Amino acid sequence: MKSKSIALAIALALSASVAFAGGTHAGGHGDESAIGVPGVAAKVTRTVEVNMTDNMRFTPASIDVKQGETVRFKVKNSGQVKHEFVLGTEKELKEHYQVMLKNPEMEHEEPNMITLAGGKTGEVIWQFTKAGKVDFGCLQPGHWDAGMKGAVTVAKGKAPAAKAADGHNHKH
């Protein structure tokens, strides 16, 4: 009986991680989701610097953007332990967090997230296509529960056009 329970737990964990990586979650391989789509660097309208600390906090923890805006999140891990910046709905993040609790060394890479060792910096480029709230958090075991989460508020309306390298706005 015990081996059946273990097999079931493994199957559930694998199916949850496959669902997260397969496009049913935030950023799934170009599919538009409730949180938007992976952004294109040439269409970035602004950069938001996000700092992650071993105090289990993001700074800022609240970010405002406009619908349609493409944002470059420049993410820095100022701490010494591994942290993640993962965009998603609260439900998606909680589900993925449960998988991470069972598989703490699980490696994953998606356009809506970055995992960084202490002292490292990276980026996530994301286009917010729908108005509403997009959550973000660190899904390393214990971090979400400790309050390492935040939210992006996406206001209805049009984002400014991306500026070309010469500093001018161009319509294509």
pLDDT at 109: 78
149 C-beta neighbours (distance < 10 Å), count: 22
Q: Is residue 71 part of a domain?
A: yes
Q: Is residue 37 part of a domain?
A: yes
Q: Is residue 169 part of a domain?
A: no
Please give the residue range of the domain that contains residue 120: 2-155
157 within 8 A of 69, measured Cβ to Cβ: no
Q: Is residue 168 part of a domain?
A: no
pLDDT at 32: 66
Q: Is residue 120 part of a domain?
A: yes
pLDDT at 154: 96
Give the chain's domain count: 1
What is the chain written as a DSSP string? -HHHHHHHHHHHHHHHHHHHHTTSSTT-TT--BTTBEE--GGG--EEEEEEEETTTEEESSEEEEETT-EEEEEEEE-SSS-EEEEEE-HHHHHHHHHHHHH-TT-----TTEEEE-TT-EEEEEEE--SSEEEEEE--STTTTTTT-EEEEEEESSPPPPPBPTTS-B---
Task: Give the tokens for residue 75.
Answer: 């993410």
Q: Is residue 68 part of a domain?
A: yes
Q: Is residue 22 part of a domain?
A: yes
94 within 8 A of 84, measured Cβ to Cβ: no
Low-confidence ranges of the chain (pLDDT < 50): 1-30, 164-172
pLDDT at 25: 37
58 within 8 A of 86, measured Cβ to Cβ: no
Q: Is residue 56 part of a domain?
A: yes
* pLDDT tens digits for range 12-21: 343 333 333 3
CATH of the domain at 57: 2.60.40.420
